[in-house]
Amino acid sequence: MFATDRRAFLKAAVAGTVVSALEIPKVASAADPGPTKASPGYYSFVLGEFQITMLCDGVCFLPTNSLATNVKPEEKKPYFDAHYLAPEMVRLQASPLLIDTGQKRILVDTGLTSGTDWAAHAGRLNKTLAAAGIAADSISMVVLTHCHPDHIGGLVADPAKQFPNADLVLSETELDLWNSPDAASKLPKWAAESAPAVQKVFAALGDRVHPIKGGADVETGIAALDTAGHTQGHISLLVGSGSEQLLITGDAVTNIHFAFDHPEWQIMWDHDPDKGAKTRRALLDRAANDRLLVAGYHYPFPGVGHVVKEGMGFRWLPTDWVWDS
Ligand SMILES: [Zn+2]
């Protein structure tokens, strides 16, 4: 279309007179209503005898000034510009996942509370589970990597009934941290605000809460790794079945850009930013050295891939989608 034609077209479009010229044939019918507004948002693949399903909970946003907090603006700005990371708010996916061992269905993290004002487009876990054909009452265990509101949020509204047949597993250190009467003094101020909601979840679940020590097995084939730093009791998971392994990083590695290129760049959301940085590098080193398949919580969906060493840091290599499950 020539420029003048385009101008005329736009003028007519604004006036509402081009609709008939653009009549798009209708293909939808009552039996086939066409695409729905929201996509299902799940992705399944096989890991040995297990089936893994990545579940999209939606997206949330973090202020850019809460990231790379120990980096000079003259270094941070060009990096963020080059990686299309917006100057004010950075978008993050939230992706819980389900491990189906054949005997048990284990949900790892639960997304955000639906209707959260800072994440209007998250809290979709229930819809996503339904779309994937996974009934909430078929889940026998929920594992929390940690208790930040974007991970425990799916349990907050109705903790006892959300997953009525599931035990809750998390690290003993994490449980003690958030359940402590003086939790506020042990948490950063922004995190302390959500401590009462977290405590209500534990109270509602009662003896269904099972604390474990870092390094213990959550279940046969699923080991908890102590990856403290993001929180004092943060765990990642190493899942093994047959000859295959999957590393679930949780928030030890929260993005695929500077967390990989510059693991030493700190974020406000790590309770201990120094330790968080050390843990991040150690975990990425292990993933690269052991050629582990990795699932990330805040990576672009579905967030499954590998880690390779590059320069002084690492690079994220997303896997191709597979259709073998
Ligand atoms: Zn998170």
Q: Is residue 28 domain-resident?
A: no
Q: Which of 5-14, 84-93, 141-150 has the lowest mean pLDDT?
A: 5-14
Residue 3 scores a pLDDT above 70: no
Tell how strand 141-143 and strand 293-296 pair up: unpaired
- Order of all β-strands in the sheet with 293-296: 217-219, 222-226, 235-241, 244-250, 293-296, 304-310, 313-318
CATH number, domain with residue 112: 3.60.15.10
- What are the residues facing 212 on neighbouring strands? 171
| 78 C-beta neighbours (distance < 10 Å), count | 10
Domain that holds residue 167: 42-318
Which tens digit of pLDDT belongs to each residue from 160-216?
999 999 999 999 999 999 999 999 999 999 999 999 999 999 999 999 999 999 789
Residue 151 CA, ligand 1 centroid: distance in Å: 6
Tokens representing residue 246 in the block: 């999957």
Distance in Å, CA 45 to ligand 1 centroid: 23
**Is 10 part of any domain?**
no
160 in a structural domain: yes
| Mean pLDDT score across all residues of the chain | 89
Q: Cα–Cα distance between 288 and 91 in angstroms, integer?
A: 26
Instruction: Indicate whether 203 belongs to any domain.
Output: yes
Interval 294-315: pLDDT, tens: 999 999 999 999 999 999 999 9
Pick the range with the lowest mean pLDDT from 28-42, 287-301, 309-323.
Answer: 28-42
CA of 143 to the centre of ligand 1 (A): 14
Distance 88 CA to ligand 1 centre (A): 19
Q: How far is the CA of 141 from the centre of ligand 1 (A)?
A: 20
In sequence order, the 6+-apart residues with CB closer than 8 A to the CB of 24 are: none
Q: Report the separation in Å between the CA atom of 49 and the middle of ligand 1, taken as the mean of its atom positions.
A: 28
> Token digits for 201?
């979840």
When pLDDT is averaged across residues 112-123 and rounded to a whole number, the result is 80
How far apart are alpha carbons 70 and 20 in whole angstroms? 57
Residue 272 belongs to some domain of the structure: yes
Concatenating the DSSP letter of every residue in 92-120 gives EEE--EEEE-SS-EEEE---PPTT-TT-T
Tally the domains of the chain. 1
Task: Report yes or no on 32 lying in a domain.
Answer: no
Q: Ligand 1: distance of its center to the CA of 275 in Å?
A: 17
3-state secondary structure 31-69: CCCCCCCCCCCEEEEEECCEEEEEECCEEEEEEHHHECC
Tokens of 168: 């809750």
Distance 254 CA to ligand 1 centre (A): 7
Q: How far is the CA of 34 from the centre of ligand 1 (A)?
A: 34
Residue at 119 is within a domain: yes
Separation of 35 CA from ligand 1 center, angstroms?
30
Please check whether residue 5 lies inside any domain of the structure.
Answer: no
Q: What is d(CA 155, CA 174) in angstroms, rounded to the nearest whole number?
A: 16
Q: Cα separation of 57 and 44, whole Å?
A: 15
Distance 297 CA to ligand 1 centre (A): 7
